[in-house]
Each structure stands twice: as C-alpha cells, then as structure tokens.
C-alpha cells in the first residue's frame, strides 16, 4: 500500500531551507562557521528530494492526485513549495559555490514559481472559492515565492528580473493580505489543522525585508524600515495567538511555524549586521539559538511521530488499472 503525501509536507524542506539560510547569513557576517549553514541547506535539499520522491510514488499511479491537490482550495497553495524550496536552495546553496550552475537552477525554478503562481491565481478566479477556505498559506505561491525569487535573482546578478519579481510579490501581498485579513477578522476561526498557518502572517514582511537587503547591499534604508514596521506588528500579534497554538496537538502542520520564524530571524540578523548595536554578536547568537531550537524541536517531534506511526496519513490501497 502507498502512503499519500499531502502537499503541506513540502513545508518540511522549506523550513529547513529557511533555517539554513539564517545560518548562511550569520556565517557571511562572521558570526558562525559557514559550513553549518551549508550543511543545513544540504539537509534541506536531501529532505526535499525525499518528499518529492514520496509524493511522486503515490501520485504517479494516480494521475488525478496532482491535479486534485492543485485545484483544492485548501492544499493548492502548498504545492508551490515544491518549486520555491529548490529556488531558495539554488540561490543560497549552489550559486555561492558555482555561479553558472546556480544561475541556471535559479532561472529554472524561478520560471516554475512564476508559472505556478500565475496558474493558481487563475484557478482561484476560475474555481469555486469560499471565503472560509482562505488561509494565510495563500501567501506562499506569489508573495513568498515572488520575494524569494527577487532575492535569488539578485544573488545571481539578475537585478532587473529581481525588481520585476519584487513588484509581483508586493502587489500580490497587498491584494491577498487584505483578503486574508478580512477572512481572519470577520469569519469563524480557522479549523484546528490550519491554525498553524497563522504563523505565515509574519512571513511576507520578513521575506520582503530580505529581498530589500539583497537589493541594497545589506543596508538599512527607508524601505527596509517601512516594511519592518509592519512586520514587527504581526510578530507581536503572534503573542495573542499563543493560547491557540498551545492547545494544538502536534501534527505535520506545525512545520508552518518553521520558515516563517526562520525568515524573521534572518531579516533580524541583517538588521544586526548593518546596525551593529552594542552586544550585536550576543543578539545574533541568541537569534540563531532560538530559531534552531524551535525548528530542531519540531524536527525531533516529527521523527518521534514517524516512529510511532502518527505522522504520516494511513496507507491507501494501490490504484487499480483502468
């Protein structure tokens, strides 16, 4: 029997890539050995391969699976992580070591990210979408994908393309942000499995800030400050959501916390690097420790859940021919 891999499992390598990115940034600033970040990116790449293979093993004998996942109003947004994750890995893990190969990989996965973002935007227009099905994961295909694409393009020297991607992400953030906030403010609370996606609310400002730092050479300018002000508000809003989070039972959806907070840690490291406040090294180490403990803890809980048979969905019978 095959095990169905839900699209949100792509959030696992995505979160690990975010952690690796934070360590890479800290390594470039001289706070930690660069090898740690590279090792985490390699782990994220390996995990991405495992999830892709596992997903394909289930989906290929069942041709409708992939289409059903993409058109599903709840899961469709998470499918985008299958191409956004390798985009980030190519930019941070490959391009610094081999710019030519890194640029090719960035271009490939950037195109795939934009294509999927365009497709799912059209699907949300075309399909039947209920306001209560909307959740913060809707930021992933175009907002997170666009800002990460902008950062990646800057890293490989494609600055005009990077600005185009930033514009794509920014406008989508304004549109989707209003829609998602309206749903969260005025409609019933998200169902328990989607509660962790509330953490994704902090991601757009963080990845936008990272993209701006990539554009301006790591300086704190007025645009970074404007974006970071809104980001700070949403980080503080997470404190009020703690009672919701603490009532949850551990599930794969907890990986929604990982990349979002890793992105916040990364943009904070950029602030520390440029601002160099008194004790800046201590702040950098505390940030790295906090985000590593968070993501490491979720990873350990996931491994324990797998060992106990509580992480993966129950196996399904093999597809019958014809």
Quote the CA–CA distance of 253 and 262 in Å, as a whole number.
16
| Per-position DSSP letters for 58-107, written without gaps between them | HHTTSTHHHHHHHH-TTTHHHHTHHHHHHHHHIIIIITTT-HHHHHHHHH
- Global pTM value: 0.95
Quote the CA–CA distance of 82 and 10 in Å, as a whole number.
6
State the pLDDT at residue 127. Answer: 86
SS3 of 300, please?
helix
- CATH class, range 7-307: mainly alpha
State the pLDDT at residue 84. Answer: 99
Quote the CA–CA distance of 183 and 119 in Å, as a whole number.
22
State the pLDDT at residue 316. Answer: 61
Supply φ then ψ for residue 2, to 5 degrees.
Answer: -95, 150
CA 263, 10, 13: angle at the middle one, nearest 5? 55
State the pLDDT at residue 246. Answer: 96
Please report, in tens digits, the pLDDT of each residue of the chain (322 residues total). 567 899 999 999 999 999 999 999 999 988 899 999 999 999 999 999 999 999 999 999 888 999 999 999 999 999 999 999 999 999 999 999 999 999 999 999 999 999 999 999 999 999 888 999 999 999 999 999 999 999 999 999 999 999 999 999 999 999 999 999 999 999 999 999 999 999 999 999 999 999 999 999 999 999 999 999 999 999 999 999 999 999 999 999 999 999 999 999 999 999 999 888 998 999 999 999 999 999 999 999 999 999 998 898 776 655 554 4
3-state secondary structure 235-281: HHHHHHCHHHHHCCCCCHHHHHHHHHHHHHHHHHHHHHHHHCCCCHH
Supply φ then ψ for residue 310, to 5 degrees.
Answer: -115, 5
DSSP 8-state secondary structure symbol assigned to residue 309: T
State the pLDDT at residue 317. Answer: 57
The domains of the chain are located at 7-307
Quote the CA–CA distance of 209 and 42 in Å, as a whole number.
24
SS3 of 48, please?
helix
Question: Which of these, 91, 59, 75, lies nearest to 10 by C-alpha position?
Answer: 75
| Per-position DSSP letters for 130-168, written without gaps between them | -GGG--GGGGIIIIIHHHHHHHHHHHTT-HHHHHHHHHH
Query: Which pair of structure tokens corresponds to residue 91?
Result: 């930019």
């Amino acid at each position: 029997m095959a095990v169905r891999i839900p699209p949100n499992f792509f959030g696992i390598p995505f979160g690990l890539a975010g952690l690796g990115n934070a360590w890479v940034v800290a390594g470039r600033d001289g706070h930690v050995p660069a090898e740690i970040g590279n090792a985490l990116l390699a782990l994220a790449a390996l995990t991405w391969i495992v999830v892709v293979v596992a997903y394909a093993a289930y989906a290929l004998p069942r041709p409708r699976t992939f289409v059903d996942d993409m058109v599903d109003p709840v899961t469709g947004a998470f499918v985008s992580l299958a191409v956004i994750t390798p985009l980030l890995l190519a930019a941070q893990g490959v391009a610094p070591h081999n710019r030519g190969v890194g640029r090719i990989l960035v271009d490939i996965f950037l195109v795939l990210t934009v294509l999927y973002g365009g497709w799912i935007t059209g699907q949300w227009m075309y399909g039947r979408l209920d306001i209560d099905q909307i959740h913060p994961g809707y930021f992933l295909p175009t907002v997170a994908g666009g800002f990460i694409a902008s950062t990646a393009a800057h890293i490989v020297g494609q600055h005009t393309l990077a600005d185009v991607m930033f514009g794509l992400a920014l406008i989508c953030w304004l549109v989707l942000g209003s829609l998602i906030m309206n749903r969260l403010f005025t409609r019933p609370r998200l169902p328990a499995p989607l509660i962790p996606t509330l953490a994704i609310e902090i991601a757009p400002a963080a990845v936008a800030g990272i993209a701006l730092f990539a554009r301006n050479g790591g300086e704190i300018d007025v645009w970074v400050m404007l974006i970071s002000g809104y980001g700070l508000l949403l980080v503080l809003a997470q404190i009020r959501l703690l009672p919701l989070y603490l009532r949850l039972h551990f599930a794969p959806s907890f990986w929604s916390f990982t990349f979002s907070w890793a992105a916040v840690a990364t943009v904070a490291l950029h602030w520390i690097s440029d601002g160099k406040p008194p004790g800046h090294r201590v702040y950098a180490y505390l940030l790295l420790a906090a985000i590593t403990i968070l993501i490491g803890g979720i990873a350990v809980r996931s491994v324990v859940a797998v060992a106990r048979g509580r992480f993966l969905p129950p196996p399904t019978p093999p597809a019958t021919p014809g």
